[in-house]
Structure 1
């Protein structure tokens, strides 16, 4: 993509990866953010300080500039889109909403999940609000031809992020031979994607006319059980025989209340994706970073940055309570 790209937000994990990929591909990139970017901005990108949720301030900041593609990374409720259809409808050839695959109803009635799988989430607030954002922009496309593309990442990570609810606490406990709790029986299926692979799949969608009016699930084809995810992290951390304790999502939520919504309405369900549309729109795309390699990157980064190795004493105590009695069993 070599055109003019505007990122509204996008200084987080996947936005930063996409920014670097976009600039490397020849795009002229502008990033609008309210605060200083948390991650390095690629050389050559322009950064403007402004509130993307304030329509008047955004118009004053951008004026009559035009863009080949605008990407909204920070629309979490329909209110965050106020004024965008009217303003950007005349100023861009494509408006990309970053949504989430969490919009799909759980349990999914038919696997694998496609872009047309039912969207339904009456409880999980994050996903429910993302559905509302999607519906608002889809209506604008139907009624006014607004050039929307909906992009749905799933569970992305990079070296700075341990892709577990328990974070680095789980890795330290596995290294110490202490039990780590896994929801269910550890065999439900999940999909992880490294942020660099997301960026490689995502950037070619910018300015792609065939993606206008479409939704695209940008996901990896690698399928893992939750036990396998824990075991790969354990191996990367030098642990051959971690102590994994399996408990129901309801039991865990009773002990760790902050996990109840995400376990009940997201993590405990099997999630498999059909990537046909993504591969049709981005010919030749294939992930390059397996989770085995990604786990090694995670551990190397955390081992090199002591401040990142945060351990929650509250979570550790909850795992101990959940693990005994009865005792957990070792998983190889």
Structure 2
């Protein structure tokens, strides 16, 4: 029986690493990664890798020459131009294109429990979400024109051992900045009152649903958000992290509007989005992938993340710009 040939565009990032690891464990999947080979890699050394600049169409064409893929997973298109170059390079060489979008593509909704059907895309409050929604529309048009199958996947708030989970637009690789504030007893900034609910999914659990979409008829020309049923307030998130670090948190609250005024709307867009409850009904993905279940609690997942950072101090990178912003925000905030 022929194996399913799968291309992961990216494959070593926060979400995609666990997807790659799970795919490598499947005897019927022949996995290839396409990236520049620059990101720290937690995959086996014998993983098949194609190195190219994924944002340069000529590089893509040259690197992918002679390859045809059953499934291509695009973790690396953040705007239409980036998606277009990949679609052109892969046109005629990919049967099923899985585009990783985001729940941030959804518009603000009056529904507390959001589904794929009751929440339209087109989030104009955040550039990242808007660009992802534009990519979704472009992919649908491409597949209507060419007959290629597509699936749109919208991850929620995800984390793994590298990402110290938080609501800020800080690089995952420098997310220890938040842990350092807790450990140092510095004020930890909560947007508004920190009581907004978010849906949290460990990337190991996300991967179970994601890999289950390969060669799955229920996935063809469909869209899914892949989320858990773990709903926590942002304040409770920080409380759990502080407990695991063995410290007592010092919370300061600040309206999101003031945060925007201090750091600028660009860096604050994610926090503005987080000022609404983000709760998602995952019944559609569970119906498509019945084996999907979320088994990593937030407490266990964050404990693993903290162990990783403590065992690998070289990863304890601090973002100086955000550290300074947090200090400034603390001056305007109210102790809680």
Structure 1 residues 28 and 328 mapped into 2: Cα distance closer, same or farther (>3 Å)? same
Count of matched residue pairs? 326
Alignment of 1:63-82 (within 5 A): 63-82=65-84
TM-score, L = length of structure 2: 0.88
Contact 2:15 2:203 in 1 (8 A): yes
Alignment of 1:154-173 (within 5 A): 154-164=156-166, 165=168, 167-173=175-181
Question: What SS does the corresponding residue of 2:134 show, helix, strand or coil?
Answer: helix
Q: Which shows bigger deviation, 290-299 or 122-131?
A: 122-131
Q: 1:183 aligns with which of 176, 191, 198?
A: 191
Please give the per-residue CA displacement for 1:57-116, whole angstroms capped at 9, x wherever unaligned: 43333234322211111111222233554654533331111111100012x222311123
Q: Which shows bigger deviation, 36-45 or 108-117?
A: 36-45
Q: Which residue of 1 aligns with 2:241?
A: 233
Q: d(CA) in 1 for partners of 2:329 and 2:61? A: 53
Q: 1:254 aligns with which of 249, 257, 261?
A: 261
Contact 2:253 2:333 in 1 (8 A): no
Structure 1 residues 112 and 84 mapped into 2: Cα distance closer, same or farther (>3 Å)? same
Q: d(CA) in 2 for partners of 1:279 and 1:2? A: 25
Q: 1:103 aligns with which of 93, 102, 105?
A: 105
Gaps of 5+ in 1: none
Contact 2:189 2:252 in 1 (8 A): yes
Question: What SS does the corresponding residue of 1:94 show, helix, strand or coil?
Answer: strand
In the alignment, structure 1 residue 195 sits paired with structure 2 residue 211: no
- In the TM superposition, what is the alpha-carbon distance from 1:326 to its structure 2 partner? 6.8
Question: What SS does the corresponding residue of 2:72 show, helix, strand or coil?
Answer: strand
Q: Which shows bigger deviation, 221-230 or 76-85?
A: 76-85
Q: d(CA) in 1 for partners of 2:141 and 2:123? A: 19
Structure 1 residues 148 and 111 mapped into 2: Cα distance closer, same or farther (>3 Å)? same
Contact 2:254 2:332 in 1 (8 A): no
Q: Which residue of 1 aligns with 2:92?
A: 90
Q: d(CA) in 2 for partners of 1:327 and 1:63? A: 58
- In the TM superposition, what is the alpha-carbon distance from 1:288 to its structure 2 partner? 1.5
- In the TM superposition, what is the alpha-carbon distance from 1:30 to its structure 2 partner? 1.0
Q: d(CA) in 2 for partners of 1:67 and 1:318? A: 45
Q: d(CA) in 1 for partners of 2:179 and 2:199? A: 20
Please give the per-residue CA displacement for 1:15-66, whole angstroms capped at 9, x wherever unaligned: 1211111010121111121234421333543111223344444333323432
Structure 1 residues 2 and 178 mapped into 2: Cα distance closer, same or farther (>3 Å)? same
Alignment of 1:131-146 (within 5 A): 131-146=133-148
Instruction: Give me the CA root mean square deviation.
Output: 2.4
Q: d(CA) in 1 for partners of 2:53 and 2:267? A: 31
Contact 2:60 2:86 in 1 (8 A): no
- In the TM superposition, what is the alpha-carbon distance from 1:320 to its structure 2 partner? 4.6
